[in-house]
């Protein structure tokens, strides 16, 4: 075995510490698994030392974010300092006007950060279309990874303090710990302060056998979803279709849309699974973020199952603030539409994201109208008979997939081309040839959807098996999964889709 020379060691260490924009640190990478193993070896030594543990986790979290966004980790520190100070100022005054001004300041500061980094060039493009190209120059602005997530998380803290639902923290390090906690930092779940903060100073840290086993199960399922299903069908089928839709038949374009629906679910829920599992290893509990969303029989049910932390955030801090359902039916429908339009804009600065949000907002409003107008109409599939539920799942899934077409396409021209191919060039006689040519892809897609549609008790049974297995068997399962990932991956580790949001 050839050992690195003494001169090479500092270079290796600097490379490990340095930020590389082309290689962000993500959960499914070998580097993260190596670093996390080292992190956990020392973490256990602080199980009865809350302050030392808090500082240690903060330093690792800031390093983790630095490896994803470089110097912009200071933006995270600024957000933590700003909202901590604003919440403390709210606690020192009982004047309603002053408190309202302070919470408005928090929202303004957070949305200004988000607006500058995410929407500046979008607004410049609109101005150039209105007043002529060249009216304003586009800016070279780096989008910090996960800024939408930690901005929303920080705003929820100050709003909860304003509403009297949460007492402000007295120690800034506790707040920085909450906002920077690395498992959910860059892609959620969006964890509420009132759920997470009481866990920070637990003494000692307790990780039960059930928590550890559940963490193993979630990390393994997350790796399977992300590194095997999502990455493979993306690289070998979905990306090709969306890049050049005119080169493919309508059937292939339709399968590309269905493939992307599975890809984005496995990518995002895989990240959430791993984040929840890693947090459990450290003694922290996160809320569930996905609940088999493609089993939904109505669009309302879909948003109770998809990206639950975002949908509940939009409900509690936007929809309710707009008036919710308290100001009559027409206002309720308008509030739903506005909430989802802004939810679409949260995902990205592009017309297609606004249309995606508008589609879901209109669908939610129409479903609420349907429930009010049709006697016996049910809000979720659990209350329907078998055939109504099957029909509802089919219609809801295809509506959601149409939304994913808007969400994934690089431009509205791509949307038009794919719909044109599906409608005018479906080419059904080629289906057997396509299925044969992409046998591996379609087998993985079929397996992914089959596993997704299994009853909840099957997932619970699999979790019990892994959770109750001896530690040696759990280690062997993890090794087998890592080996499987290494065998099937066909290129470099792919970043998570939601890193761009």
**Angle in degrees, 0-180, between the axes of helices 456-468 and 209-223, rounded to the nearest 10:** 120
Please tell me the distance from the alpha carbon of residue 241 to that of residue 74, in angstroms, as a whole number.
Answer: 39
> Does residue 306 contact residue 293 with C-beta atoms inside 8 Å?
yes
Please tell me the distance from the alpha carbon of residue 122 to that of residue 126, in angstroms, as a whole number.
Answer: 6
| 367 in active site | no
> Does residue 358 contact residue 340 with C-beta atoms inside 8 Å?
yes
Nearby residues of 149 by Cβ (< 8 Å), 6 or more positions away? 184, 185, 186, 187, 188, 190, 501
Nearby residues of 480 by Cβ (< 8 Å), 6 or more positions away? none
> Does residue 350 contact residue 397 with C-beta atoms inside 8 Å?
no
> Does residue 107 contact residue 161 with C-beta atoms inside 8 Å?
no
Catalytic residue among 347, 360, 367, 452: 347
Question: Considering only CA atoms, which of 285, 275, 81 is closest in space to residue 198?
Answer: 285
Please tell me the distance from the alpha carbon of residue 196 to that of residue 239, in angstroms, as a whole number.
Answer: 37
> Does residue 270 contact residue 231 with C-beta atoms inside 8 Å?
no
Please tell me the distance from the alpha carbon of residue 269 to that of residue 225, in angstroms, as a whole number.
Answer: 8
DSSP single-letter state for residue 500: G
Nearby residues of 450 by Cβ (< 8 Å), 6 or more positions away? none
Please tell me the distance from the alpha carbon of residue 9 to that of residue 11, in angstroms, as a whole number.
Answer: 5
Active site residues: 347
């Amino acid at each position: 075995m050839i050992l690195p020379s003494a001169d090479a060691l500092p270079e290796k260490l600097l490379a490990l510490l340095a930020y590389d924009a082309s290689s962000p640190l993500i959960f499914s990478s070998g580097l993260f698994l190596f670093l996390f193993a080292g992190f956990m070896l020392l973490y256990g030594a602080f199980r009865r030392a809350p302050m030392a543990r808090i500082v240690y986790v903060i330093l690792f979290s800031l390093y983790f974010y630095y490896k994803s966004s470089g110097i912009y980790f200071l933006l995270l520190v600024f957000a933590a300092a700003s909202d901590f100070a604003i919440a403390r100022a709210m606690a020192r005054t009982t004047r309603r006007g002053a408190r309202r001004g302070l919470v408005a300041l928090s929202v303004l500061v957070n949305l200004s950060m988000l607006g500058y980094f995410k929407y500046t060039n979008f607004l410049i493009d609109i101005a150039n279309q209105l007043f002529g190209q060249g009216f304003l120059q586009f800016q070279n602005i780096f989008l910090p990874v996960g800024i939408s997530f930690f901005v929303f998380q920080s705003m929820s803290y100050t709003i909860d303090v304003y509403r009297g639902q949460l007492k402000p923290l007295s120690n800034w390090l506790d707040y920085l710990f909450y906002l920077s906690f690395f498992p959910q930092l860059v892609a959620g779940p969006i964890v509420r302060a009132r759920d997470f903060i009481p866990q920070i100073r637990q003494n000692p840290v307790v990780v039960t056998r059930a928590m550890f086993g559940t963490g193993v199960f979630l990390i393994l399922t997350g790796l399977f979803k992300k590194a095997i299903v999502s990455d493979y069908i993306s690289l070998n089928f979905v990306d090709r279709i969306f890049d050049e839709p005119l080169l493919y038949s309508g059937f292939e374009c339709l399968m590309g849309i269905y493939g992307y629906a599975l890809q984005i679910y496995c990518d995002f829920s895989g990240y959430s699974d791993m984040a929840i599992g890693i947090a459990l290893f450290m003694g922290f509990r996160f809320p569930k973020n996905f609940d088999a969303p493609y089993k939904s029989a109505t669009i309302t049910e879909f948003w109770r199952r998809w990206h639950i932390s975002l949908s509940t955030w939009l409900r509690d801090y936007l929809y309710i603030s707009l008036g919710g359902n308290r100001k009559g039916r027409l206002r309720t429908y308008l509030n739903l539409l506005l909430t989802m339009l802004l939810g679409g804009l949260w995902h990205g600065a592009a017309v297609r994201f606004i249309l995606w949000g508008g589609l879901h907002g209109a669908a939610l409003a129409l479903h609420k109208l349907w429930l009010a107008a049709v006697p016996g109409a049910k809000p979720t599939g659990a209350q329907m008979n078998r055939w109504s539920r099957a029909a509802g799942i089919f219609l809801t899934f295809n509506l959601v997939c149409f939304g994913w077409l808007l969400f994934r396409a690089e431009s509205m021209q791509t949307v038009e081309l794919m719909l044109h191919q599906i409608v005018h060039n479906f080419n059904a006689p080629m289906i057997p040839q396509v299925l044969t040519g992409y046998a591996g892809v379609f087998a993985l897609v079929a397996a992914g959807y089959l596993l997704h549609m299994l009853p909840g008790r099957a997932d619970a049974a699999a979790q019990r098996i892994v959770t109750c297995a001896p530690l040696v068997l759990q280690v062997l399962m993890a090794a087998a999964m890592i080996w499987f990932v290494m065998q099937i991956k066909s290129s470099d580790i792919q970043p998570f889709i939601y890193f761009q949001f």
